[in-house]
């Protein structure tokens, strides 16, 4: 990841704390923001290495990426690179369909399970890393918030989207910290609601909207459901 260090190494040398603190200055959810950076790096890595045999073999096992990451990849990949990837996977579909001795419905259900991440095995290679990173970030942020000074910093940050708030809240054990986190979540939502009201109330005088109000409908979406691709489970 950042500077080629794994997340565990970053936690160990304190860089993770530094990275989390920096993310407090970003607009939206802290966890989503960290994952968005990771996701971009992972996509670039796959685009850069798509010709390598080990990357191809990995994709043949997982039947490609999940729908979300296939479309994200399309934004970064050149058409020729994407065509090669599509050819590889579609040819493999035909090869497997010819080779399988399973009943066809059974074979298709197994294929679908892999393609849509319905099983825990062989999930999309980008989702797999992001899910691991997300757990690490949640664990780290939970510990970070146990410090009263850090909680003050969090109070003025972009906070958490609803899916990540629920995950972190359920992870915490101390009642005082949980209550504090809940209060801050409600405060962040009230501030956002004010901006959303401004957006609606000024619909006939759009030029009077503040920049914050203009962006509020996107922030509302991110608050409710997290960044694109966020999983609730
Ligand atoms: Zn989030
Ligand atoms: Zn994915």
Q: Read off the pLDDT of residues 118-163 as tens digits, 9 standing for 90 and up.
A: 555 668 889 989 999 999 999 999 999 988 889 999 999 999 999 9
Q: How many whole angstroms separate alpha carbon 133 and alpha carbon 138?
A: 9
The ligand that comes nearest to the alpha carbon of residue 29 is 1
The ligand that comes nearest to the alpha carbon of residue 64 is 2
Q: How many whole angstroms separate alpha carbon 199 and alpha carbon 88?
A: 48
* Residue 8 confidence (pLDDT) above 80: no
Residue 37's domain spans which residues?
2-225
Is 230 within the bounds of a domain?
no
Is 141 within the bounds of a domain?
yes
* Residue 40 confidence (pLDDT) above 50: yes
Is 150 within the bounds of a domain?
yes
pLDDT given for residue 112 in this prediction = 74
Split into its structural domains, the chain has a count of 1
Please enumerate in sequence order all residues whose Cβ is within 8 A of that of 45, keeping only pairs 6 or more positions apart, or say none: none
Give me ligand 2 centre to Cα 67, in Å. 7
Is 135 within the bounds of a domain?
yes
Is 231 within the bounds of a domain?
no
Is 37 within the bounds of a domain?
yes
* Residue 18 confidence (pLDDT) above 70: yes
Instruction: Tell me the average pLDDT across 212-218.
Output: 92
Is 80 within the bounds of a domain?
yes
Give me ligand 1 centre to Cα 63, in Å. 27
* Predicted confidence band of residue 192 (pLDDT cuts 50, 70, 90): very high
In this predicted model, what pLDDT tens digit does every residue of 169-189 receive, in sequence order?
998 999 999 999 999 999 999
The ligand that comes nearest to the alpha carbon of residue 42 is 2
* Residue 11 confidence (pLDDT) above 60: no
| Long-range CB contact pairs, 46-54, < 8 A, 24+ | 46/73, 46/125, 46/126, 47/73, 47/76, 47/77, 47/81, 50/77, 50/81, 50/84, 50/85, 51/84
Instruction: Tell me the average pLDDT across 193-222.
Output: 91
Q: How many whole angstroms separate alpha carbon 42 and alpha carbon 75?
A: 13
């Amino acid at each position: 990841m950042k500077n080629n260090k794994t997340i565990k190494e970053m936690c160990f040398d304190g860089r993770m704390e530094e990275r989390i603190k920096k993310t407090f200055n970003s607009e939206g959810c802290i966890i989503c923001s960290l994952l968005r950076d990771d996701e971009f790096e992972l996509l670039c890595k796959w685009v850069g290495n798509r010709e390598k045999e080990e990357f191809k073999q990995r994709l043949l096992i997982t039947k490609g990426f999940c729908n979300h990451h296939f479309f994200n990849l399309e934004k970064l990949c050149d058409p020729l690179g994407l065509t090669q990837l599509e050819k590889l996977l579609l040819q493999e579909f035909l090869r497997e369909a010819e080779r399988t001795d399973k009943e066809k419905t059974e074979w298709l259900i197994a294929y679908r399970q892999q393609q849509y991440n319905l099983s825990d095995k062989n999930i999309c290679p980008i989702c797999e890393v992001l899910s691991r990173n997300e757990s690490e970030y949640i664990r780290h942020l939970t510990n970070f918030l146990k410090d009263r000074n850090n909680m003050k910093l969090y109070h003025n940050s972009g906070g958490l989207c609803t899916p990540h708030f629920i995950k972190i809240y359920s992870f915490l054990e101390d009642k005082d910290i949980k209550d504090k986190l809940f209060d801050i979540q409600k405060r962040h939502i009230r501030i956002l609601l004010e901006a959303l009201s401004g957006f609606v109330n000024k619909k006939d005088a759009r030029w009077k909207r503040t920049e914050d109000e203009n962006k509020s409908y996107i922030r509302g979406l991110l608050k409710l459901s997290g960044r694109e691709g966020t999983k609730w489970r």
